[in-house]
Amino acid sequence: MKYVTARRAGLVSCHACGRVEPRIRSITAQHCGRCGTHLHSRNPDSLVRTWALLIAAALLYIPANLLPVMHTASLLGSEDDTIMSGVVYFWTSGDWPLAVIVFIASIMVPMLKLSVLVLLTVTAQRRSRWRPQQRATLYRMVERIGRWSMLDVFVVTLTVALVRFKSLAVITAGPGAIAFGSVVILTMMASMQFDPRLIWDNVESRTKKPQDPRHD
């Protein structure tokens, strides 16, 4: 199946405001007619920046799950809780809906988001023709659900505020919360740096190779 892409139709879109306008080849540095942003057929060094952010997020994902996200100190002693231990506590105490929500938002979503972004980056780098529509849908899903990964950080913040207000116990955020927040931010930045137009580069035609993005 052949797809008519914007590049093949002589169009270019602004990455800042989304405006689509004709590509003027006679102009070396074309700017958006709406916001004035420098237009590129493909974002320069998109894959390099995406890989850098994904590697950093993957490295921080390990301490985010191993280090405590919450430290509790009371008259009975102190206790450190990781994300998984918090899920287990909610589940055993009967709050299974909250346990499911925290598990999905804090463990499954970041892991799936990292996996999907790695898949998209690898296939774009290898100029794969494999299921471009499905890959574009995956990218849009990652963009929409990524912000919900911050739910665990919100839970920790709310718990700290409530416990300090109602009891003698003292709860502070642990280093795992910082690592987890960094993972969420890095994956959000990685999805922003990835140029989804790269998905369609090698499916324009099976006989004609796409232009090198570095020349645009």
Helices (H) and strands (E) in the chain, counts: 7, 5
At residue 98, the pLDDT reads 74
Residue 166 has pLDDT above 70, yes or no: no
Mean of pLDDT values over 174-202:
85
Phi, psi torsion values for 32, nearest 5 degrees: -65, 135
Residue 156: per-residue pLDDT:
59
Q: Which whole number is the average pLDDT over 136-140?
A: 89
Which of the two residues, 167 and 174, has the higher pLDDT score? 174
Query: Which pLDDT band holds residue 117 (cuts at 50, 70, 90)?
Result: very high
- What is the full DSSP assignment across 24-93? -TT-SS-B-TTT-PBP-SS-TTHHHHHHHHHHHHHHHHHHHHHS-SEEEEETTEEEEE-HHHHHHHHHHT
Q: Is the pTM of this model over 0.85?
A: no
pLDDT for 77 equals 67
Domains and CATH numbers, the chain: 1-41 (no CATH), 45-203 (1.20.140)
Q: At 120, is the pLDDT very low, low, confident or very high (cuts 50, 70, 90)?
A: very high
Query: Is pLDDT of 189 > 60?
Result: yes
Q: For the segment 29-41, what is each residue's pLDDT rounded down to a tens digit?
A: 888 888 988 887 7
State residue 58's pLDDT score: 93
- Does the pLDDT at position 132 exceed 80? yes
Check whether 74 has a pLDDT greater than 80.
no
Q: Give the model confidence (pLDDT) of 6-31 as tens digits.
A: 777 788 888 778 888 888 877 778 88
Higher pLDDT, 215 or 49: 49
Exposed/middle/buried for residue 134 (C-beta within 10 Å: 0-12, 13-18, 19+): exposed
Burial class, 112, CB count within 10 angstroms (exposed 0-12 / middle 13-18 / buried 19+)? middle
Percent of residues, the chain, with pLDDT higher than 90: 12
60 vs 1, higher pLDDT: 60
